[in-house]
Structures are given as structure tokens and as C-alpha cells.
Chain A
Amino acid sequence: MLAKRIIPCLDVKDGRVVKGRSFVNLRDAGDPVEAGKAYSDAGADELVFLDITATLEARKTILALAARVAEEVFIPFTIGGGISTIADARSLLSAGAEKISINTAAVKNKPLITEVSEAFGNQAVVVAIDAKRVGSTGFQPVGKNTGYKPVPPKWEVYINAGTTPTGLDVIKWAKEVEALGAGEIMLTSIDSDGHTAGYDIELNAAVNEAVSIPVIASGGAGGPEDMLAVLTEGKADAALAASIFHYGTYTIAAVKDYLRNHGVHVRS
């Protein structure tokens, strides 16, 4: 039986690992290769490296990082951040990355999804979607004089590290990226990210019901119970977390023990 995955995310800036709350207030803490190796040894199922310095200089740094990680780490790893051409994708995958993740470039240049998918297989293409809740408060009438129900929530796709609204509906965009050739979706709730108060369960459930490719839940992990919720109620295939692992609040093993004790199939 396929196991649910636990994925530590390492935000990388100028070749170093950092993690902040809601994309600001970054704190420096470690060498990405050493951190990746430690996570792999500790039982992580996969790693995600997000390059948050998307300058040309940094692109070279992240390429060198991918090559070094491939030499030291023998679990799958994804590289994301600033990838905007098929040449970027090719160089990272050739260096040894298992997958690349595209976000802003996927919205601005949809054919890129299909091009990378056709060239390297859809399993190599992760589309990252940053989602922000919109107009989800209040109630709407149900029929005539039969009462009210809550307005169903909606989410809007944001790009440029969560700073620019696109007007795209997250559910529609998720279906579209699947049709374009994405093999996986990394779904980040901007509202929850960095607050360690839990994933957006409704968001994850809605996207997981809409698509038939795997979805990695991201944004908001505060502890094992949040991961349990998003992997069960949220129907996600994988749970990504950064700060709780990075600052040692929980180990991967502790999270997996908790999930296993609550009936979730995880890799031992």
C-alpha cells in the first residue's frame, strides 16, 4: 500500500537554509546538503529545496546545490524557485533533482508545464500553487424560505512569492495544471503558512477532490495532529513542513509514530 509522505522543506537563500513566517523575517540556520542528509537519515520520505533568491547568480548556486545533494542524498528531492525555462528544468534534473517545481512561471507561461512534462515525464513536474482565501465569510439562502448555509470557500492563486493576486480560482487552476501535464501539486495556503496553527483542511480537501494527481499539503504545520488532519480529512498524499522540523520541535520519527498510531500508513 502506498505510504503517505512526510516532506521537510528547506528554504534556501544564498546557499543557506532559512525559514520565516509568511515569507518574511528569515532566520539563517544551516548548510542545505548537511540538513538534507540529516533529514534523509532521520526518515524523511522526500526533500524540497526552495530557492528564494531568484537572481541569476543564485540560479548557479542552486544548480551546484542540486549536484551536491545528488551525491549525498538517496531519496527523491525537488528543486523550486525561479525556474522559468525548459533549460532551467533540464539543468536541475540533469544535476540529479528528481523533480522541479514551478509556480509563477506556470501561471505566466502555461506551455512550460507541458514542455517540461513531455521532455522529462509528468512525474518530474510539480506545480506549486500559493492559495489565499477570498470571500468565504457569511451565509447564503438555501432555496425559498428554507434557511441559510455558509458560503462555500474560494481561494485565489497568488504568484511572485505570494505577493501578486492573479484572479485565478485555485480549484480551476489545479484542474488546468493537471490537464497541462503536471504530475503533482504542491499546495500552499498563504493564510496558514508560517503560523504553525494547522493546514487549510478545506482547501486541501477541495483540491484533492478536484484532481487525480498527488497533492502535497503545505503551509501551517504546527505538529503531528495537523499532519494527521490534512492527510485524512484533507485527503492529501503528502504533508510538507519546514519550521517544526527545522527548529527541532518534532522529529520525523515522532511525527510518523503519531501518524502510524492513528492508522495512517507511513514508511518505516
Chain B
Amino acid sequence: MLVIVDYGLGNLRSVQCALRRVGQEALITSDAEKIATADGIILPGVGAFWRAMENLREAGLAKVVLETARNGKPLLGICLGMQLLFTESDEHGRHEGLGLIPGKVRRFAPGLKVPHMGWNEVKHGTPSPLFKDVADGAFFYFAHSYYVDPDDSATVIGATDYGLTFSSAVQAGNVFGVQFHPERSGPAGLAMLENFCRLC
């Protein structure tokens, strides 16, 4: 069973519906035990970084997500959920993340329309099973104001241009993160979710 971590932020049902479309049932839960015993974890999220981390810690979920990921279970962070995987963010002051992937979360520079909202191309980086049967340069749906800046460029499996080239998909072993919303990205997004399910 896959779990979608419910910590009070994020559109969980759309992720669940998209998974169901590719034949995967997923449980929306905030139960630490169910997360610890899941075959794979999806960490969604929208809104503010600090609030997400606070909610995760207060619900005792930060620890179980970290431990389960460190034990080798596949973890996919979506949008803010991807940013939470990193060391720290400078959104509303400096805040520590889960620290599963070394790097920082930064805001887009002034002069660009923010949020970066709409469909943009994702170019392949380091080869990853997440992009199996997904075309190089396929469009995905984005809606975010901050982006991740990984310390190790080898973790970058997808990159996107918006004022600068930023890391739109990352992988460090069993830990995956995507800045876009695969659940909202039509057939390419569904293919990517199916790829993740295959790893679980």
C-alpha cells in the first residue's frame, strides 16, 4: 500500500485520484504506523515551508517519514513536499527541512511573474527510472514561488527554465522530488506516477 502523508496542507485527493487512474490505491493518512509500514510514501504540499515543517513535526510525522525513507522505502515529494526534502529554506526567514537531500530552497528573483504558474518543459538530467517513457522536454504543470538548489548536481534528474535553469526533479537513491504536479500534468504526469508506483 502507498500512503499520501496528510499533515493538513495540500490537495491530497487529486494525488489519490491520479494514482487510482494508474491502478494504484493509496491511503491518505497521518498515522505514523501506517507510514512506517507503507510500500512507498508520497509527500505532497502547498503553502508555506515553515508551516509544513511545523505541522509535520507537531504530528510526529517528520521523524517517521525520515526513518522510513532512510530504511530504503521509496519517497516522492511533490511541489512543497519536494522542497521539504532539502536542508533549509529561506521562505519567511531561515527554516530547516527534512535534510534528506543536501541543498537550499530559494525564491525566484524579482522581475519574473511569481508564482511560476502553468505548463513548462522538463529536460532530463541524470538518468532516472522516474522518467521512463516520459519524453525529454515534456510539459508539466507548475505552481510555485520557490525552487530547490541542490548541492550535488548529480541529484538533478530534471531541469526547467524560468528566468534561470532550476532543478525541477531530483533523486537521491530512493528519495525523489518533483517541483511540478504530476497529478495535474495529463498523460506525462500519470506516466511518471506509474513509474514511481513500480518502484514501490
Interface centre among A45, A93, A98, A120 (most CB of B within 10 A): A98
Decide yes or no whether A244 CB sits under 8 A from chain B: no
Interface centre among A74, A122, A212 (most CB of B within 10 A): A74
| Min CB–CB distance A103 → chain B (angstroms) | 19
Q: Are B141 and A75 in contact (CB under 8 A)?
A: yes
| Chain A residue nearest to B142 in the complex (CB) | A2
Decide yes or no whether A145 CB sits under 8 A from chain B: no
Binary contact track B43-74/A, C-beta < 8 Å → 1, others 0 = 00011100000000000000000000000000
Q: Are A121 and B117 in contact (CB under 8 A)?
A: no
184-233 of chain A: CB within 8 A of chain B: 184, 212-214
Q: Are B18 and A74 in contact (CB under 8 A)?
A: yes
| Chain B residue nearest to A5 in the complex (CB) | B118
Note all chain B residues with C-beta closer than 8 A to A71.
17, 20
Decide yes or no whether A95 CB sits under 8 A from chain B: yes
If the complex has contacts A96-B17, A98-B184, are A74 and B189 also in contact, measured as CB distance less than 8 A? yes
Q: What separation, in Å, do the CA atoms of A67 and B20 have in the docked complex?
A: 14
Note all chain B residues with C-beta closer than 8 A to A212.
110, 112-114
Residues of B contacting A: mostly: mixed
| Chain A residue nearest to B163 in the complex (CB) | A2
Note all chain B residues with C-beta closer than 8 A to A1.
120-121, 161-162
Decide yes or no whether B186 CB sits under 8 A from chain A: yes
Note all chain B residues with C-beta closer than 8 A to A118.
47-48
Q: Are B162 and A94 in contact (CB under 8 A)?
A: no
Q: Are B11 and A96 in contact (CB under 8 A)?
A: yes
- The contact of B13 among A96, A120, A122, A238, by CB within 8 Å, is A96
Q: Are A122 and B115 in contact (CB under 8 A)?
A: yes
Tell me how many residues of A have a C-beta within 8 Å of chain B: 36
How many of chain B's residues touch chain A, expressed as a range? 35 or more
Decide yes or no whether A183 CB sits under 8 A from chain B: yes
Q: Are B46 and A96 in contact (CB under 8 A)?
A: no
Q: Are A98 and B115 in contact (CB under 8 A)?
A: no
Decide yes or no whether B145 CB sits under 8 A from chain A: yes
Q: Are B118 and A237 in contact (CB under 8 A)?
A: yes
Q: What separation, in Å, do the CA atoms of A3 and B117 have in the docked complex?
A: 9
Binary contact track A74-117/B, C-beta < 8 Å → 1, others 0 = 11100000000000000001111110000000000000000000
3-17 of chain B: CB within 8 A of chain A: 9, 11-14, 17
| Min CB–CB distance A72 → chain B (angstroms) | 8
| Min CB–CB distance B170 → chain A (angstroms) | 20
Decide yes or no whether A123 CB sits under 8 A from chain B: yes
Q: Are A93 and B11 in contact (CB under 8 A)?
A: yes
Q: What separation, in Å, do the CA atoms of A268 and B137 have in the docked complex?
A: 11
Q: Are A123 and B115 in contact (CB under 8 A)?
A: yes
Q: Are B46 and A123 in contact (CB under 8 A)?
A: yes
Note all chain A residues with C-beta closer than 8 A to B184.
74-76, 98
Note all chain B residues with C-beta closer than 8 A to A4.
118
Q: What separation, in Å, do the CA atoms of A1 and B142 have in the docked complex?
A: 12
Decide yes or no whether A267 CB sits under 8 A from chain B: yes
| Min CB–CB distance B169 → chain A (angstroms) | 17
Decide yes or no whether B190 CB sits under 8 A from chain A: yes
Decide yes or no whether B147 CB sits under 8 A from chain A: no
If the complex has contacts A70-B17, A74-B189, A121-B46, are A3 and B119 also in contact, measured as CB distance less than 8 A? yes
Q: Which 7 residue pairs across A and B have the least CB separation, nearest first? A: A123-B143, A121-B46, A121-B47, A267-B119, A267-B139, A96-B13, A96-B14
10 A–B pairs (Cβ distance < 8 Å), ordered by A: A1-B162, A2-B116, A3-B119, A71-B17, A74-B185, A75-B186, A94-B13, A98-B14, A123-B144, A183-B117
